[in-house]
Structure 1
Amino acid sequence: MDLHEFWKLVLEEAAAAPGNAERRIVTFHDPRQYAGALSQWKSLKSRRPGLRRVKASPLIRAFFVPAAGAVKLMQRYGEAIAVEEDLRIQIHSQAPPVSAYKPPRSLPWGVRAIHAPQAWSRSTGVHIKIGVIDTGADFLHPDLKSSLATGVNLLHRGMLPIDDNGHGTHIAGTLAAAGGTRGMMGVAPRALIYPVKAFDHTGSAFVSDIVLAIDWCVQNRIDLINMSFGMKSRSIALHDVVIKAYRAGIPIIASSGNDGKRGGDYPARYSETIAVGAIDRKRRVASFSNHGAYIDVYGPGENVPSCWPKDSYKEMSGTSMATSHVTGAAALLLALRPGTTPRELKQMLRRSSAPLLLRKGQRRATLGGGALDAMRLLRSRGRRQKCANSVPRVPG
């Protein structure tokens, strides 16, 4: 493969394409060829500004290039590379997305419902590093100041991952807010959140942004990843990077979506993730929540209060909110039992969940897992036998 010619073609298209041009994900089959291409790209982009628009994920041996250039690359090097559309992906929240909420005087209902306060005598999630791939976080919020690490802004490198949407701050609050009696308390108040800003102010991102986000989490040895977003289509690149994180021992907890249907969104439907649905205050599957045998556990997701930018608080509904409860409970467990694998965590969440209350016409077997219970999770034991790994999941 002529790598000089490869980059010449990419450069021609990168120079001609507008700034908001569609992209393609170009993955190399041969690790040695990718290593050579990556080395050339690093040396060329300092002299060729057009190549700075190209991004790379060494974890899955991929480059993200302008769409027009990818066509020529596929024609020339089709046997050495694979080309995939760089699809849009959205955060999971209900519309209307928010309602105002006064500063809390008691623990949020979801934190109480999963028995997190009872678990704090055993674990508060201390030192667990949680990568929250989302819209960023409000670093000035008084309830989050001690809970946030610097993280990364993938949309504007060199800038803090400031939240310009609100969704990421809400997730962070449920996960690890530590406002005490006068503010918000999250499920794992001593965990450390690393905001990974991959979504813009509209709550939209590309698959390539998510690939880069997971790549960053793996390279920075994050313990746990929260992904409260999804899309209807399967992506080979996204699945590949999820598998890489799984093999690196990093659990990914993903929201199933808010269509109120049997089935769900990707990446939650990949077997390497932990799929989350939402329940209401009565421990029933929320009307908006996707459901099915592939769901591993359900968390509180209806009218959940949490932190919001500019020192405020708001309620939101969605499987996003449910996911942050599950990720928080997982942080409590990992602090108590470091070294728990993604497979073991999935098994423990399923086995320790409490029975759901069924709506008329529902059958328990069609819903998958039960309701999250942090105390039962901390008491559960992981099984390391091969025969204990049969978790039903819709094929990815």
Structure 2
Amino acid sequence: MRDACLFHSLHEEIQVPNDSDRRAIIRFNSRDDFNRWLRLRDTLIPALPRLAYVQPLPMIHAFACPLSCAGQLASFPSVLSVEEDCKTAVVHGLPEFRRSSTIKLSGDHPYIPWGVSHIKAPLTWNRTTGDRVRVAVIDTGIDYNHPDLQHAIENGINLIHRHALPVDDNGHGTHIAGTIAASARQTGIAGVAPQASIHPVKAFDENGTAYVSDIIYGIYWCLRNRIDVVNMSFGMKHHSRALEDAVRTAYYSGMIIVASSGNDGRTSRIDYPARFPHTLSVGATNKKGQIASFSNKSKYIDIYAPGEKIVSTWLRGEYQELSGTSMATSHVSGVVALLLSANRKLTPRKIKSILRRNASRIASKRLVSSETGELNAYRSVKSAL
């Protein structure tokens, strides 16, 4: 009876989407509590139609829903916590999106961007190309018609419009996907792992913003679809216990999550989710092999990779040059795909160790930790083999 009362109270507090930006994540003490609530919600929807807006998050035994206020929800015995469902961004005014006009490629052969060459990825392609490795890009979607990506695109999900394809209406996700797995036949660009599969998970809207709950559901989708690598080229300043628990669950299932450290040029602090210990956290370097001026620097960063003036795929079949730790992260995801294609027995912990141990020396005096180096695909793949 008390659970039914809670749902009646919840129904009164739920705001119809677009009426309010306020959302909450309601977590339960156990899987049994969550399943009991889920069954009760389904029973009550005909009488309480706003409960249809309550989104289950099975991975962390939680619901996400639009709320005017949390009310007395946290006082119910089966409720563990009520957390604000905050927004995060892939853009947020970062240097990577201060872009000029699209790039025009010339020549009658594939173009290898400087970052792909710098980490020595082409030297590994006679041994591994990322074949049969499934990489999810939780981002703004993907350009399904881009000629350099059509070979790589596999099933995905659109968490903004659930019944639509995860089509990119921003550009960021397409750029990330290109660095990971672009493959040009004659003209176009080559990515780090040109035979890897890309699974677009559109959690971010056209403005490059997403709710934490949609990112969590995206991770859950990846888990159910046996994704090997998850690229998270976004960041937020605040800690989310719900997101951390989702990342931890994915890690212990064997999934490798690669996350960008942020573009604030700060020392000793990095963004979430890169700050979670169960991610591969990435900083950015420039063409000189130095830490990029915009990149955060910290002992929490596992590896640095090329992130300045990176050319990759863009909307409408075009190409764009962007800078940011987002771009560095996609290089690392590509190398992880190369490693897994070469050796499927590698665990997330082992992959992190291989990348760190075989990294190149950073040509910078501003390095926070002498143990952190720059991504080296050739040495890492050689070690994995």
Pairwise CA distance, 1:334: 0.5
Do 1:133 and 1:210's aligned partners in 2 also have CA atoms closer than 8 Å? yes
After the TM superposition, which of the residue ranges 175-184 and 108-117 deviates more from structure 2?
Answer: 175-184
**What residue is the counterpart of 1:217 in the other structure?**
222
The reply to whether residue 247 of structure 1 matches residue 249 of structure 2 is no
Distance 2:45 2:324 in 1: 42
2:186 match: secondary structure:
helix
Aligned residues: 378
Distance 1:272 1:35 in 2: 27
The reply to whether residue 369 of structure 1 matches residue 372 of structure 2 is yes
Q: Which runs of 5+ in 2 are unaligned?
A: none
Distance 1:14 1:38 in 2: 16
Pairwise CA distance, 1:30: 2.2
Distance 1:29 1:299 in 2: 40
**What residue is the counterpart of 2:99 in the other structure?**
98
**What residue is the counterpart of 2:79 in the other structure?**
80
Change beyond 3 A, Cα 1:102–1:17 = closer
**What residue is the counterpart of 1:285 in the other structure?**
291
The reply to whether residue 71 of structure 1 matches residue 77 of structure 2 is no
1:299 match: secondary structure:
strand
Distance 1:352 1:104 in 2: 34
Pairwise CA distance, 1:149: 1.1
Do 1:150 and 1:160's aligned partners in 2 also have CA atoms closer than 8 Å? no
Change beyond 3 A, Cα 1:119–1:43 = farther
2:132 match: secondary structure:
coil
Q: 1:256-290: per-residue Cα shift (whole Å, max 9, x none)?
A: 00001112100001100000000000100000000
Do 2:16 and 2:53's aligned partners in 1 also have CA atoms closer than 8 Å? no
The reply to whether residue 228 of structure 1 matches residue 233 of structure 2 is yes
**What residue is the counterpart of 1:393 in the other structure?**
none
**What residue is the counterpart of 1:380 in the other structure?**
383
> Which of the residues 119, 127, 130 maps onto 2:124?
119
2:227 match: secondary structure:
coil
Change beyond 3 A, Cα 1:207–1:367 = farther
Distance 2:248 2:15 in 1: 34
Do 2:86 and 2:211's aligned partners in 1 also have CA atoms closer than 8 Å? yes
1:262-301 alignment, distance < 5 Å: 262=267, 263-301=269-307
**What residue is the counterpart of 2:333 in the other structure?**
327
Do 2:8 and 2:48's aligned partners in 1 also have CA atoms closer than 8 Å? no
Q: Which runs of 5+ in 1 are unaligned?
A: 383-396
Pairwise CA distance, 1:29: 0.8
Distance 1:175 1:4 in 2: 48
Distance 1:338 1:130 in 2: 14
Distance 1:43 1:186 in 2: 49
Do 2:20 and 2:68's aligned partners in 1 also have CA atoms closer than 8 Å? no
Do 1:10 and 1:65's aligned partners in 2 also have CA atoms closer than 8 Å? no
Q: 1:1-36: per-residue Cα shift (whole Å, max 9, x none)?
A: 832222222222226776334111110012211111
- Partner amino acid for 1:185? A
Do 1:9 and 1:69's aligned partners in 2 also have CA atoms closer than 8 Å? no
Pairwise CA distance, 1:78: 5.6
- Partner amino acid for 1:352? N
1:234 match: secondary structure:
coil
> Which of the residues 258, 261, 266 maps onto 2:266?
261
Distance 1:309 1:213 in 2: 22
Distance 1:304 1:119 in 2: 20
- Normalised TM-score (structure 1): 0.91
**What residue is the counterpart of 1:385 in the other structure?**
none
Change beyond 3 A, Cα 1:154–1:47 = farther
The reply to whether residue 108 of structure 1 matches residue 109 of structure 2 is no
**What residue is the counterpart of 1:390 in the other structure?**
none
Change beyond 3 A, Cα 1:294–1:141 = same
Q: 1:230-279: per-residue Cα shift (whole Å, max 9, x none)?
A: 10111100100000100110010000000011121000011000000000
Distance 1:153 1:250 in 2: 21
4+ residue runs over 6 A deviation: none
After the TM superposition, which of the residue ranges 41-50 and 207-216 deviates more from structure 2?
Answer: 41-50
